A and B are shown apart, each in its own frame.
Chain A
Amino acid sequence: SQQGEEDPQALSIQEGENATMNCSYKTSINNLQWYRQNSGRGLVHLILIRSNEREKHSGRLRVTLDTSKKSSSLLITASRAADTASYFCATDDSGGSNYKLTFGKGTLLTVNP
């Protein structure tokens, strides 16, 4: 079963605008990760936030985590056409196997020039 679920499924914005994607999950976690996938390529790790962190920044990326609501958001500021991709959240299960990540179905972001 899916652990993480992204919202929205698709998002279309203009270059320069900010893009926000959300992820909800079901079980307690140790950490949550965000990945990007360009069309026809493998996933690329963007950022990891631990369960005891509330916010983390990396360049134009800002991730928040609310463990009480079991949700996370990924904000991409000043978007570029090159940010066009699918974005996935991935979680572990602190009560289950330590080996596995479970991925959501992704948000398709289109940044129009």
Chain B
Amino acid sequence: DAGITQSPRHKVTETGTPVTLRCHQTENHRYMYWYRQDPGHGLRLIHYSYGVKDTDKGEVSDGYSVSRSKTEDFLLTLESATSSQTSVYFCAISQLAGAYEQYFGPGTRLTVT
């Protein structure tokens, strides 16, 4: 999977708890993205990063924050998880800006009870 790992791969958590998902890449790509995938909605962009410490919001950013302190790691944090954040989360990377080929991680299945 193009040198992208996500951790954890599965997580069950309770409403109101903080959760952090990690994306790690070994490709030294500049751009990193977090998506969520839900039935009937396809893939939606949460946040993206265009460099270390450079991030911006995507389509569905409410309730999520991100951080990128080094090239290889992009963290997605749910400050206080809600049941509506139950989803499969994918990280993606690209060498060029988003209009070019993206490589996806294996996904994290998050369940908020």
Contact = CB atoms under 8 A, between A and B. Distances in A.
A102 B99 CA distance: 9
Interface residues of A, number: 25
Given A44-B104, A45-B103, A99-B31, A92 B42 contact: no
B50 interface: yes
Interface string B4-35: 10000000000000000000000000010001
A100 B42 contact: no
A100 B98 contact: yes
Interface SS majority for chain A? loop
B90 A43 contact: yes
Contacts of A48: 100-101
A43 B104 contact: yes
Contacts of A73: none
Interface of A: 1-2, 30-31, 33, 40-45, 48, 88, 90, 92, 97-106
